[in-house]
Protein backbone atom coordinates (compact mmCIF):
# COMPACT_ATOMS: atom_id res chain seq x y z
CA UNK A 1 0.00 0.00 0.00
CA UNK A 2 1.24 3.48 -0.82
CA UNK A 3 2.33 5.55 2.12
CA UNK A 4 1.01 8.96 3.10
CA UNK A 5 3.97 10.60 1.34
CA UNK A 6 2.67 9.23 -1.98
CA UNK A 7 -0.55 11.20 -1.76
CA UNK A 8 -0.98 14.04 -4.25
CA UNK A 9 -3.86 16.34 -5.10
CA UNK A 10 -6.34 15.60 -7.87
CA UNK A 11 -5.30 18.81 -9.63
CA UNK A 12 -1.66 17.71 -9.58
CA UNK A 13 -2.58 14.30 -10.99
CA UNK A 14 -4.60 15.82 -13.82
CA UNK A 15 -1.94 18.42 -14.58
CA UNK A 16 0.73 15.73 -14.69
CA UNK A 17 -1.23 13.61 -17.16
CA UNK A 18 -2.08 16.63 -19.32
CA UNK A 19 1.59 17.58 -19.43
CA UNK A 20 2.58 14.06 -20.47
CA UNK A 21 -0.12 13.97 -23.15
CA UNK A 22 1.17 17.31 -24.47
CA UNK A 23 4.70 15.90 -24.73
CA UNK A 24 3.51 12.79 -26.54
CA UNK A 25 1.16 14.72 -28.83
CA UNK A 26 3.86 17.15 -29.93
CA UNK A 27 6.23 14.29 -30.64
CA UNK A 28 3.76 12.00 -32.41
CA UNK A 29 1.06 14.30 -33.79
CA UNK A 30 -1.83 11.97 -32.87
CA UNK A 31 -4.02 12.34 -29.81
CA UNK A 32 -5.05 8.71 -29.60
CA UNK A 33 -1.49 7.48 -30.03
CA UNK A 34 -0.36 9.95 -27.37
CA UNK A 35 -2.94 8.59 -24.92
CA UNK A 36 -1.69 5.05 -25.50
CA UNK A 37 1.88 6.16 -24.83
CA UNK A 38 0.80 7.71 -21.53
CA UNK A 39 -0.96 4.51 -20.52
CA UNK A 40 2.23 2.56 -21.24
CA UNK A 41 4.32 5.03 -19.21
CA UNK A 42 2.05 4.63 -16.19
CA UNK A 43 2.18 0.85 -16.58
CA UNK A 44 5.95 1.10 -16.33
CA UNK A 45 5.61 3.32 -13.25
CA UNK A 46 3.35 0.88 -11.46
CA UNK A 47 5.56 -2.00 -12.60
CA UNK A 48 8.32 -0.65 -10.38
CA UNK A 49 8.73 -1.95 -6.86
CA UNK A 50 7.90 0.33 -3.93
CA UNK A 51 11.61 0.72 -3.26
CA UNK A 52 12.34 1.69 -6.87
CA UNK A 53 9.56 4.31 -6.87
CA UNK A 54 10.79 5.67 -3.55
CA UNK A 55 14.18 6.38 -5.12
CA UNK A 56 12.63 8.56 -7.85
CA UNK A 57 12.83 12.13 -6.55
CA UNK A 58 10.69 13.72 -9.29
CA UNK A 59 8.05 11.27 -10.64
CA UNK A 60 6.79 13.76 -13.24
CA UNK A 61 10.25 14.14 -14.76
CA UNK A 62 10.76 10.37 -14.68
CA UNK A 63 7.46 9.83 -16.48
CA UNK A 64 8.33 12.52 -19.04
CA UNK A 65 11.60 10.73 -19.82
CA UNK A 66 9.75 7.43 -20.22
CA UNK A 67 7.17 9.08 -22.49
CA UNK A 68 9.94 10.64 -24.58
CA UNK A 69 11.67 7.31 -24.96
CA UNK A 70 8.50 5.51 -26.03
CA UNK A 71 7.67 8.26 -28.53
CA UNK A 72 11.16 8.16 -29.99
CA UNK A 73 10.84 4.40 -30.54
CA UNK A 74 7.48 4.89 -32.26
CA UNK A 75 8.79 7.67 -34.47
CA UNK A 76 11.62 5.42 -35.58
CA UNK A 77 9.24 2.55 -36.43
CA UNK A 78 9.56 1.83 -40.18
CA UNK A 79 5.88 0.90 -40.47
CA UNK A 80 4.54 4.19 -39.13
CA UNK A 81 1.93 5.65 -41.50
CA UNK A 82 2.66 9.37 -41.79
CA UNK A 83 -0.38 10.16 -43.92
CA UNK A 84 -2.68 8.62 -41.31
CA UNK A 85 -0.80 10.42 -38.56
CA UNK A 86 -1.35 13.80 -40.18
CA UNK A 87 -5.03 13.06 -40.83
CA UNK A 88 -5.55 12.34 -37.14
CA UNK A 89 -3.54 15.42 -36.16
CA UNK A 90 -5.70 17.65 -38.31
CA UNK A 91 -8.86 16.17 -36.77
CA UNK A 92 -7.50 16.73 -33.29
CA UNK A 93 -6.67 20.36 -33.97
CA UNK A 94 -10.11 20.83 -35.51
CA UNK A 95 -11.67 19.62 -32.28
CA UNK A 96 -9.70 22.20 -30.35
CA UNK A 97 -7.18 19.76 -28.86
CA UNK A 98 -4.05 21.76 -28.03
CA UNK A 99 -5.35 24.39 -30.44
CA UNK A 100 -3.50 27.19 -28.69
CA UNK A 101 -0.15 25.44 -28.92
CA UNK A 102 -0.10 23.65 -32.25
CA UNK A 103 -1.42 23.70 -35.80
CA UNK A 104 -1.68 21.19 -38.61
CA UNK A 105 0.91 23.18 -40.58
CA UNK A 106 3.47 22.95 -37.81
CA UNK A 107 2.69 19.30 -37.11
CA UNK A 108 3.18 18.48 -40.76
CA UNK A 109 6.53 20.24 -40.74
CA UNK A 110 7.55 18.39 -37.58
CA UNK A 111 6.48 15.07 -39.06
CA UNK A 112 8.95 15.54 -41.92
CA UNK A 113 11.90 15.65 -39.51
CA UNK A 114 14.00 12.58 -38.68
CA UNK A 115 12.91 11.07 -35.32
CA UNK A 116 15.95 12.20 -33.34
CA UNK A 117 15.73 15.78 -34.65
CA UNK A 118 12.01 16.01 -33.94
CA UNK A 119 12.50 14.64 -30.42
CA UNK A 120 15.41 16.99 -29.70
CA UNK A 121 13.46 20.01 -30.95
CA UNK A 122 10.23 19.16 -29.09
CA UNK A 123 11.96 18.37 -25.80
CA UNK A 124 14.30 21.39 -25.99
CA UNK A 125 12.24 24.15 -27.64
CA UNK A 126 8.68 23.15 -26.80
CA UNK A 127 9.06 21.79 -23.27
CA UNK A 128 12.40 23.28 -22.19
CA UNK A 129 13.64 19.97 -20.80
CA UNK A 130 17.02 20.07 -19.10
CA UNK A 131 19.90 19.17 -21.46
CA UNK A 132 20.65 16.09 -19.40
CA UNK A 133 17.07 14.85 -19.68
CA UNK A 134 17.10 15.30 -23.46
CA UNK A 135 20.41 13.44 -23.67
CA UNK A 136 19.00 10.60 -21.53
CA UNK A 137 15.96 10.18 -23.77
CA UNK A 138 17.91 10.32 -27.03
CA UNK A 139 20.83 8.33 -25.59
CA UNK A 140 23.22 10.85 -27.08
CA UNK A 141 25.65 13.34 -25.63
CA UNK A 142 24.42 16.84 -24.82
CA UNK A 143 26.42 18.45 -27.69
CA UNK A 144 24.91 15.99 -30.17
CA UNK A 145 21.41 16.81 -28.87
CA UNK A 146 22.11 20.53 -29.32
CA UNK A 147 23.18 19.87 -32.90
CA UNK A 148 20.05 17.79 -33.57
CA UNK A 149 17.80 20.59 -32.27
CA UNK A 150 19.68 23.15 -34.40
CA UNK A 151 19.19 21.04 -37.52
CA UNK A 152 15.48 20.73 -36.73
CA UNK A 153 15.13 24.51 -36.40
CA UNK A 154 16.88 25.03 -39.73
CA UNK A 155 14.58 22.51 -41.42
CA UNK A 156 11.46 24.11 -39.96
CA UNK A 157 12.61 27.52 -41.14
CA UNK A 158 13.30 26.23 -44.62
CA UNK A 159 9.84 24.66 -44.84
CA UNK A 160 7.90 27.66 -43.57
CA UNK A 161 9.89 30.41 -45.27
CA UNK A 162 9.35 31.24 -48.93
CA UNK A 163 12.09 32.91 -50.98
CA UNK A 164 12.18 36.50 -49.76
CA UNK A 165 14.64 39.13 -50.90
CA UNK A 166 16.86 40.84 -48.36
CA UNK A 167 15.03 44.13 -48.97
CA UNK A 168 11.61 42.52 -48.43
CA UNK A 169 12.78 40.74 -45.29
CA UNK A 170 14.31 43.90 -43.86
CA UNK A 171 11.16 45.90 -44.61
CA UNK A 172 8.96 43.44 -42.72
CA UNK A 173 11.36 43.32 -39.77
CA UNK A 174 11.51 47.11 -39.68
CA UNK A 175 7.71 47.29 -39.65
CA UNK A 176 7.57 44.75 -36.82
CA UNK A 177 10.03 46.83 -34.81
CA UNK A 178 8.00 50.00 -35.37
CA UNK A 179 4.78 48.25 -34.29
CA UNK A 180 6.48 46.91 -31.16
CA UNK A 181 7.94 50.31 -30.26
CA UNK A 182 4.56 52.02 -30.71
CA UNK A 183 2.86 49.08 -28.92
CA UNK A 184 0.31 48.82 -31.74
CA UNK A 185 -1.10 45.32 -31.36
CA UNK A 186 -3.34 45.57 -34.42
CA UNK A 187 -0.53 46.55 -36.78
CA UNK A 188 1.79 43.95 -35.30
CA UNK A 189 -0.82 41.20 -35.73
CA UNK A 190 -1.31 42.25 -39.36
CA UNK A 191 2.40 41.68 -39.99
CA UNK A 192 2.20 38.12 -38.67
CA UNK A 193 0.80 35.16 -40.61
CA UNK A 194 -2.51 33.87 -39.29
CA UNK A 195 -0.81 30.63 -38.31
CA UNK A 196 2.42 32.24 -37.07
CA UNK A 197 4.21 30.48 -34.23
CA UNK A 198 6.57 31.96 -31.63
CA UNK A 199 9.14 29.94 -29.71
CA UNK A 200 10.60 31.32 -26.48
CA UNK A 201 13.98 29.91 -25.41
CA UNK A 202 14.59 30.62 -21.76
CA UNK A 203 16.70 27.53 -21.21
CA UNK A 204 15.09 27.06 -17.82
CA UNK A 205 17.17 29.99 -16.58
CA UNK A 206 14.47 32.70 -16.72
CA UNK A 207 10.70 32.53 -16.29
CA UNK A 208 9.93 32.75 -19.99
CA UNK A 209 7.05 31.01 -21.73
CA UNK A 210 7.73 27.32 -22.10
CA UNK A 211 5.25 26.28 -24.77
CA UNK A 212 5.19 27.90 -28.20
CA UNK A 213 2.50 30.47 -28.91
CA UNK A 214 0.41 29.84 -32.01
CA UNK A 215 -1.69 32.29 -34.03
CA UNK A 216 -0.85 35.78 -35.25
CA UNK A 217 -3.02 37.63 -32.73
CA UNK A 218 -1.73 35.58 -29.80
CA UNK A 219 1.90 35.97 -30.88
CA UNK A 220 1.46 39.74 -31.22
CA UNK A 221 -0.02 39.97 -27.73
CA UNK A 222 2.75 37.91 -26.13
CA UNK A 223 5.49 39.84 -27.92
CA UNK A 224 4.12 43.16 -26.73
CA UNK A 225 3.87 41.80 -23.19
CA UNK A 226 7.51 40.70 -23.36
CA UNK A 227 8.62 44.01 -24.87
CA UNK A 228 6.53 46.31 -22.65
CA UNK A 229 7.97 49.83 -22.80
CA UNK A 230 10.48 50.77 -20.12
CA UNK A 231 12.77 53.85 -19.98
CA UNK A 232 15.90 51.67 -19.97
CA UNK A 233 14.76 49.25 -22.67
CA UNK A 234 15.57 49.66 -26.36
CA UNK A 235 14.61 47.60 -29.40
CA UNK A 236 16.80 47.79 -32.50
CA UNK A 237 17.35 45.90 -35.73
CA UNK A 238 20.57 43.92 -35.91
CA UNK A 239 22.04 41.00 -37.85
CA UNK A 240 20.83 37.74 -36.28
CA UNK A 241 21.82 34.38 -37.78
CA UNK A 242 22.82 36.08 -41.04
CA UNK A 243 19.60 38.08 -41.53
CA UNK A 244 18.10 41.15 -39.94
CA UNK A 245 16.46 40.46 -36.60
CA UNK A 246 15.74 42.37 -33.41
CA UNK A 247 17.87 42.90 -30.33
CA UNK A 248 16.42 44.04 -27.00
CA UNK A 249 18.71 45.83 -24.60
CA UNK A 250 18.03 46.66 -20.96
CA UNK A 251 20.50 49.40 -20.18
CA UNK A 252 23.72 48.14 -21.77
CA UNK A 253 22.81 44.47 -21.44
CA UNK A 254 21.33 42.43 -24.28
CA UNK A 255 18.22 40.91 -22.73
CA UNK A 256 16.69 39.17 -25.76
CA UNK A 257 17.49 38.36 -29.37
CA UNK A 258 14.62 37.82 -31.79
CA UNK A 259 14.94 36.04 -35.12
CA UNK A 260 12.08 36.38 -37.61
CA UNK A 261 11.29 34.01 -40.47
CA UNK A 262 9.52 35.91 -43.24
CA UNK A 263 7.43 34.53 -46.09
CA UNK A 264 6.18 37.20 -48.47
CA UNK A 265 4.73 40.12 -46.49
CA UNK A 266 4.30 38.19 -43.24
CA UNK A 267 6.32 36.74 -40.40
CA UNK A 268 5.63 33.00 -40.13
CA UNK A 269 7.89 32.09 -37.20
CA UNK A 270 9.37 34.06 -34.33
CA UNK A 271 12.31 32.74 -32.30
CA UNK A 272 12.89 34.63 -29.04
CA UNK A 273 16.10 33.87 -27.14
CA UNK A 274 16.18 35.03 -23.52
CA UNK A 275 18.42 32.23 -22.27
CA UNK A 276 21.29 34.03 -20.45
CA UNK A 277 23.77 31.35 -21.52
CA UNK A 278 23.00 31.90 -25.21
CA UNK A 279 23.17 35.69 -24.78
CA UNK A 280 26.70 35.67 -23.38
CA UNK A 281 28.28 36.13 -26.79
CA UNK A 282 26.08 39.20 -27.31
CA UNK A 283 27.19 40.70 -24.00
CA UNK A 284 30.91 39.96 -24.01
CA UNK A 285 33.47 42.76 -24.19
CA UNK A 286 33.96 43.79 -27.77
CA UNK A 287 30.66 42.28 -28.87
CA UNK A 288 27.48 44.20 -29.66
CA UNK A 289 27.99 46.68 -26.86
In a shared domain, residues 228 and 113: no
Q: Is-contact 60 128, C-beta < 8 A?
A: no
CA dihedral 22, 28, 34, 37 (to 10 degrees): -110
In a shared domain, residues 230 and 248: yes
In a shared domain, residues 50 and 185: no
Residue 95: which residues within 8 A CB-CB, separation 6 or more? Answer: none
Which CATH number fits the domain that encloses residue 137? 1.20.140
In a shared domain, residues 144 and 122: yes
pLDDT tens for 219-245 read 999 999 988 888 888 999 999 978 899
Residue 216: which residues within 8 A CB-CB, separation 6 or more? Answer: 189, 190, 192, 193, 194, 195, 196
Residue 55 lies in a domain: yes
pLDDT tens for 170-222 read 999 999 999 999 999 999 999 999 889 898 887 666 666 667 888 899 999 99
Q: What does DSSP assign to residue 122?
A: I
In a shared domain, residues 153 and 176: no
Residue-range definition of the domain harbouring residue 191: 163-283
pLDDT tens for 122-178 read 888 778 787 888 888 888 898 999 899 888 888 877 766 556 788 999 999 999 999
pLDDT tens for 240-260 read 978 899 999 988 899 999 999
pLDDT tens for 84-102 read 444 444 444 433 444 444 5
**What pTM was computed for the model?**
0.61
Amino acid sequence: MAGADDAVSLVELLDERRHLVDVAFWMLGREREAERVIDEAYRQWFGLSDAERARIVDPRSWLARVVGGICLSRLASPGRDRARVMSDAGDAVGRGVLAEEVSGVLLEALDSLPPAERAAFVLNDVFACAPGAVADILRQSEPVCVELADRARQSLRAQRGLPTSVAEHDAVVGAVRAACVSEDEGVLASLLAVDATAFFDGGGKVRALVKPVHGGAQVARRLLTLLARHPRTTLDTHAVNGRTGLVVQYGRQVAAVISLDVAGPHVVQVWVTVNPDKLRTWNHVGGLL
